[in-house]
Structure 1
Amino acid sequence: MDRKHPAVLSRHPGLGRLTGRSGDAYGSAQARARQAEQARERVRLMIEITARAGAYRKGLLNAVARLSPEEAGILSDLEQHGLQVPQLHDVLCGGHVLVDAPELYERWADGKGSHPRISSHHRDIDKKRYPDIGMHGHVVREKLHGRTTTGTWVQLEKTPAAFGGKKMPSLGDLRHLMDYVVYRFTGSNVGPWGLSRMTERRPMYLSPRVAVPTALTAPVAGALTSTLRRIEQSDDTTAVSHELAAAFPPPDRADLAGELGEALPGRAGRGLFGNSEVWVTQTPSRIAARVLRERCDEAVDAVHARAAGGPQA
């Protein structure tokens, strides 16, 4: 059976549809390849823009020309979580970045060339369950990332460290030790293309999860639940009749207080006043208060005058 070459299918879209799943798979692969190339071009442009304004070690633009899809994917993910072009300078210079997105840990760990690493970052995390992951690259040099309690951290290093266990220190380990000495003296991370003050103690925080669930005590939860039920019963009316409203009661939820903190897709939450119209009230200005007071005094004087003149008339 004569099989068409993929190049032929690309020139004849109709043939791709006739081949069924194989054509669909080829089309999806092409789409992924285009998206990867677009991400690489976008990251290259971002680095070229920031290189015009910031100071970097020599060789950055030459390394950008050999940017791998895995490196571009990491920087592109950071951009999608709020990284701006000026912040890219600190990332390339070794800034410690926190992102409240746990899925990035798995995505980057599955990248080509990723391998387990040993590091001293975020010791509160179970390293057996979530080992730190390293990856070599022309631009990132040595990318190191791991898990945090609420997401993922990432940092670019100038030189990797592979010591640990029974391995003898290598030349790269000695260079990494020199970078640590620079960090201790300057208080700055040593990245592949410069120094950054964004350390683990003072990190760059992208997409912070500001909604933190908090448990209520039993008395507070009980009082809040009874209040919410009373509000729902008072609001259980329609424009037709009370009988019709009674025929369609609201859903019976066992935990009204717990519903207030439920998280919705996209990190949205109902919150305590999430579905309410909120008005901001302010005290009147001093001028307005004086005018209102004068009018009130005039009205009181007029009432007293009428009351005093009434019997005399």
Structure 2
Amino acid sequence: MDRKHPLASAKRAARAGWPGGSSSDAADARAEQVRNRVRLTIEITARAGEYRRGLIAAVARLSAEEAEILAGLEEHGLQVPQLHDVLCGGHVLVDDPNLYERWRAAKGSHPRLSSHHRDIDKTRYPDIGMRGHVVREKLHGRTATGTWVQLEKTPAAFGGSKMPSIDDLRHLMDYVVYRFTGSNVGPWGLSRMTERRPMYLSPIVAVPTSLTPPVARSLTKALRRIEESDDVTAVSQQLAARFPPPDRQDLAGELGQALSDRGGRGLFGNSEVWITQTPSRTAAAVLRASSDRASAATVWPTGGPR
């Protein structure tokens, strides 16, 4: 499935050329738009969730490459409450291998050693790290069916001829915390979403298959029976009989229809988000004027009703 990424779309639009400005200006404008969207999303989740100090200050310095990581997860169904676990180091699986290549090509990406998903050929698909103000150390790699990603509090560069650094020692301390608490240590907190209990986004769970004729007939009868019983739940039986449901020949076939791309509850599904500010003064004035006109129309003339 071809998923359209905001930054990728911006680059394509820039190559095509935008009226009123250069292609580089258009790409920068779209990238800034994506960056602002991600900043706002993080600020919203920070209102309800608890994070380490400094997150809001780091969000102000969010880079386009970091925004691309989080926007890519939002494309695949990430919701605001789940963003908390991502920022706190949750292990995320996405059944889309294209994300691996897209994030691998980002500016600042570099091969990195890790112990995650050892069943993958690391020579062909090395794990990739990237540092940033918000993600601190983003680490991602391939799975058998897609891409995994995890944000870490402290970067590490074990292996090769490099001597252990202060960051390596801090990374070992984070590992000790993981062993004692069973939680990943992310940039802004702890998450129980580990590699053994990951967060799944856009999992491939649908396996198309055909039904034998006897099973299809039996299933169709059951579906029609359910539909007829549900037809009288909202209105009277006499009224429902006058407006029968559409006559569909293949009721069983509808069970295999999946939601379209981005289908579901959306970015703010299951989130504690509410309006915390008053409406604009212009809107308030319009509503007040409408209310005054409605009240004046119902005022009785002097002397009472006639």
Other-structure match for 2:222: 281
SS of the residue corresponding to residue 222 of structure 2 reads coil
Provide TM-score, normalisation by structure 1.
Answer: 0.62
Residues 207-249 of structure 1: per-residue CA shift (max 9 Å, x gap) = 001135xxxxxxxxxxxxxxxxxxxxxxxxxxxxxxxxxxxxx
Deviation at 1:22, TM superposition (A): 7.9
Give the alignment's Cα RMSD to 1 decimal. 2.7
Closer, same or farther: CA 23–40 of 1 in aligned 2, 3 Å = closer
Deviation at 1:163, TM superposition (A): 1.2
Residue 105 (structure 1) aligned to one of 100, 110, 130: 100
Q: Aligned letter for 2:100?
A: Y
Count of residue pairs the alignment pairs up: 208
Structure 1 residue 53 and structure 2 residue 74: aligned?
no
SS of the residue corresponding to residue 208 of structure 1 reads coil
Residues 13-64 of structure 1: per-residue CA shift (max 9 Å, x gap) = xxxxxxxx8888x644333222211111111111001101111000000000
Closer, same or farther: CA 280–33 of 1 in aligned 2, 3 Å = farther
Structure 1 residue 77 and structure 2 residue 72: aligned?
yes
Q: Aligned letter for 1:61?
A: I
Other-structure match for 1:233: none
User: Where do 5+ consecutive residues of structure 1 fail to align?
Assistant: 1-20, 213-260, 262-270, 289-313
Cα contact 2:17–2:23 (8 A) shared by 1? no
Higher relative contact order (CA 8 A, sep 6+): 2
Structure 1 residue 203 and structure 2 residue 198: aligned?
yes
* Structure 1 CA distance for aligned equivalents of residues 98 and 151 of structure 2: 19
Provide TM-score, normalisation by structure 2.
Answer: 0.63
Other-structure match for 1:272: 210
Closer, same or farther: CA 67–282 of 1 in aligned 2, 3 Å = closer
**Identity, % of aligned pairs?**
75
Q: Aligned letter for 1:92?
A: L
Q: Aligned letter for 1:279?
A: T
* Structure 2 CA distance for aligned equivalents of residues 95 and 102 of structure 1: 19
Other-structure match for 1:160: 155
SS of the residue corresponding to residue 180 of structure 2 reads helix
Structure 1 residue 124 and structure 2 residue 133: aligned?
no
Residue 194 (structure 1) aligned to one of 189, 193, 204: 189
Q: Aligned letter for 2:222?
A: T
* Structure 1 CA distance for aligned equivalents of residues 22 and 72 of structure 2: 24
Deviation at 1:280, TM superposition (A): 5.6
Closer, same or farther: CA 282–41 of 1 in aligned 2, 3 Å = closer
Q: Aligned letter for 1:124?
A: D
Which structure has the bigger radius of gyration?
1
Structure 1 residue 86 and structure 2 residue 81: aligned?
yes
Closer, same or farther: CA 159–280 of 1 in aligned 2, 3 Å = farther
SS of the residue corresponding to residue 111 of structure 2 reads strand
* Structure 1 CA distance for aligned equivalents of residues 137 and 206 of structure 2: 33
